[in-house]
Amino acid sequence: MKKGLSVKLGLVLLLCFGMLLSACSSTKDGNGSATKGNVGNKEDAGATTTPQEQVKISFMGHGSPQEKDIFTKLIKSYETKYPNVKVEYTSVPPAEYNQKLSTLIASGKTPDVFYVSGPQFYKYAEAGTIQNLQPFLETTELFQEGNVWKQALDRYRYDGKQLGQGDLYGLPKDVGPWAMAYNKTMFEEAGVELPPAEVGKWTWDNWLDAAKKLTKDENGDGKIDIYGGANFNLDGAVWASGGDFIDYSTGTITIDTPEFTNAMQWVADLRLKHKVSPSPEDEKAMNSYSRFVAGKVGMFPMGPWDQPAFWDLPFEWDIAAWPVNPATGKAGTWVGSMGYSVSSKSKHAQEAFNLAAFLALDVEGQKQNYELGQAVPNLIDMAKGEFVSYDKAPANRQVFLDIIEDYGHPTVDFGSKDTKWLDTFRQEAGQVWDGKMTAAEWAKELQPKLQELYDKGNK
Ligand code: CA
């Protein structure tokens, strides 16, 4: 999760966004799942093949070597549960995944089951590359719709025209609430009141006050050594302000609205004006993730997948609610998700579906997933039960669930088949982060360009 040391903050925000998606995807499920909770279900889901008939299916994902190890174990559990099925598993480096997948699809070698992100999901659902899972879901005992986060499931609905409604064409691999971590030890040593876990109890002003109190030049050389906060989530700030990047119902880019530009300026000013967040120069010397880990940043966003690394930190930490914009009383942040889809050309669709359902919904797999600190369970009863009371940091686990249920948003790319417009936004935003232009000037200038890019790739 550590970033290169020489990236500009604008890029860091971009990477950070990428990290949300890819790290969501780096969920590492547990192992040995079928052997405990779900033995003896070989006939479930109305398997179309007899136990004697040997079937081979392919599964492609991406992630770290660690993720690959965990999936290898999980697939063994699936094969134990369905002994007539053999899974050929391929894990490719995340940066190569999309290209590899589209090459396979183009050459008629689509994997039976594969990871899908938001933009790919839209593209492949529309093109008929992935199949409607609804008929399968109606026959599997693994799926109890009321016990899976709606916020995750709805990402994978498609009604033939629009996303977010209709039948399920994918199942969530995970649900990734982007929370705000804080260095509890630093707060206590500085005598600063701890950020509350409940949303609405503190505002952007309170956040800034705390950040100012924590920011320090320790050795008096005129250079700040400890920053109050870093990587305040722009997208969340925009949503908290009642703005958005785009109105997907009309396909209009809305970055030039006051709601948007005021939020962006507020985030930029944390560094430019208030100097409570690292500058691009600081980022070059040490990125914000490394700074937080080194105890040099007070508040820093994290996803559930960051837990294992944070469990090893030499200071106490927790997560807090995102502060609300005082003008609206609202908070905002991301809820990421990656999914599993089944090829519409699969010769063994039932077995392929069974694998996707097993990975997304199996009780034992989900349990191991959260115990390893990789994700919030997809299963609501588990998330609200044993997950919130799990005896490891963060203590305020409820914050993750509040984000999922109350104020988290799908990432901005969800709803775009082509994301060049958004990539361009992230690349160009350095103009504002560096203080070369105000958010309002910049957005006014950039909006037509983004609109053209969006129209070209999506209309
Ligand atoms: Ca200093």
Task: Give CA–CA dist 55/216, Å, rounded.
Answer: 62
Same domain, 243 and 255: yes
Find the 279 Cα to ligand 1 centroid distance in Å: 14
Q: pLDDT per residue over 187-232, tens digit each?
A: 999 999 999 999 999 999 999 999 999 999 999 999 999 999 999 9
Find the 333 Cα to ligand 1 centroid distance in Å: 32
Find the 51 Cα to ligand 1 centroid distance in Å: 69
What is the domain-level CATH number for residue 159?
Answer: 3.40.190.10
Range of the domain at 147: 52-175+337-378
Per cent of the chain over pLDDT 70 is 89
At 171, give phi and psi (nearest 5°): -125, 145
Find the 226 Cα to ligand 1 centroid distance in Å: 8
Same domain, 280 and 156: no
Asked whether residue 346 is assigned to any structural domain, the reply reads yes
Do residues 198 and 423 touch, judged by C-beta distance below 8 A?
no
pTM across the whole model = 0.86
Find the 3 Cα to ligand 1 centroid distance in Å: 23
Find the 9 Cα to ligand 1 centroid distance in Å: 20
Asked whether residue 417 is assigned to any structural domain, the reply reads yes
Q: Which residues surround ligand 1, an ion (CB under 5 A)?
A: 217, 219, 221, 223, 225
Same domain, 275 and 312: yes
Find the 291 Cα to ligand 1 centroid distance in Å: 14
Domains of the chain: total: 2
Angle at 214 between CA 259 and CA 177, to 5 degrees: 50
Same domain, 129 and 189: no
Asked whether residue 220 is assigned to any structural domain, the reply reads yes
Task: Give CA–CA dist 90/87, Å, rounded.
Answer: 10
Same domain, 113 and 184: no
For residue 135, the Cα-to-chain-centroid distance in whole angstroms is 28
pLDDT in single tens digits along all 459 residues of the chain: 333 333 334 444 444 443 444 333 333 333 333 333 333 344 444 445 555 689 999 999 998 787 788 788 889 989 999 999 999 999 999 999 999 999 999 999 999 999 999 889 999 999 999 999 999 999 998 999 999 999 999 999 999 998 999 999 999 999 999 999 999 999 999 999 999 999 999 999 999 999 999 999 999 999 999 999 999 999 999 999 999 999 999 999 999 999 999 999 999 999 999 999 999 889 899 999 999 999 999 999 999 989 989 999 999 999 999 999 999 999 999 999 999 999 999 999 999 999 999 999 999 889 888 888 888 999 999 999 999 999 999 999 999 999 999 999 999 999 999 999 999 999 999 999 999 999 999 999 999 999 999 999 998
